[in-house]
Amino acid sequence: MSTAAAARKAEQRRHWRRQRKQAMTQVAADLTAAVHAGLRQLQRPGRLGLFWPLGAEARLLDPAPSWPGGLALPRTEASGLVYLSWQPGAALTGDHCGIPAPGGMALAPEQLGLLLVPALACSSDGMRLGSGGGWYDRLRAQPAWRAVPALMVLPQCCSKVRLAVDPWDVPFSGWITEQGMELLEPLEC
């Protein structure tokens, strides 16, 4: 990535981080409710991959969504991002980045039915602007993980915006905002 492109993406992150933080003060409860409602429509086989909320990200774990195949949380390791089984109330420890995460054996992509991923912003074609660590990008660059449907979670004001895109960015299946779910492709069961 060129220096100019990196600077442009860094500025977008600063801008959309501020926008999301401001919006979440008003829409947090509605966004959580919309996620829970959307998930009731998407009951799929496999585990639901959630995320531990950081900063102004949606708080989806309390209460955790009900999902027939069980839940999973990500864990960063030196080798990359993995998902592990998780049950509400189970003990968590700090991962490679210090984020609370479960322990145990990593799940295979085929064991997950849907991933929910936080976003600072997203474009109308499903490209995500994340916090810049690249953990989800590297995971979803793997063909088996790319096959797992993934939805971004963010406020409506941060969706359908113009974003700088890198060659390694992978489009998402859609997103959920406080106004509901928008799918860019049908999610086959």
* Whole-number pLDDT of residue 189: 57
Range of the domain at 75: 3-183
In this structure, is residue 59 part of a structural domain? yes
Which pTM does this prediction carry?
0.94
The answer to whether the CB of 20 falls within 8 A of the CB of 31 is no
In this structure, is residue 189 part of a structural domain? no
**Can you give the pLDDT of all 189 residues of the chain as single tens digits?**
578 777 888 999 999 999 999 999 999 999 999 999 999 988 789 999 999 999 999 999 988 988 999 999 999 999 999 999 999 999 999 999 999 999 999 999 999 999 999 999 999 999 999 988 889 999 999 999 999 999 999 999 999 999 988 888 899 999 999 999 999 988 865
In this structure, is residue 140 part of a structural domain? yes
* Whole-number pLDDT of residue 43: 78
What percentage of the chain has pLDDT greater than the value 70? 98
CATH number at residue 177: 3.40.50.10420
In this structure, is residue 188 part of a structural domain? no
In this structure, is residue 170 part of a structural domain? yes
Number of domains in the chain: 1
In this structure, is residue 52 part of a structural domain? yes
In this structure, is residue 157 part of a structural domain? yes
In this structure, is residue 93 part of a structural domain? yes
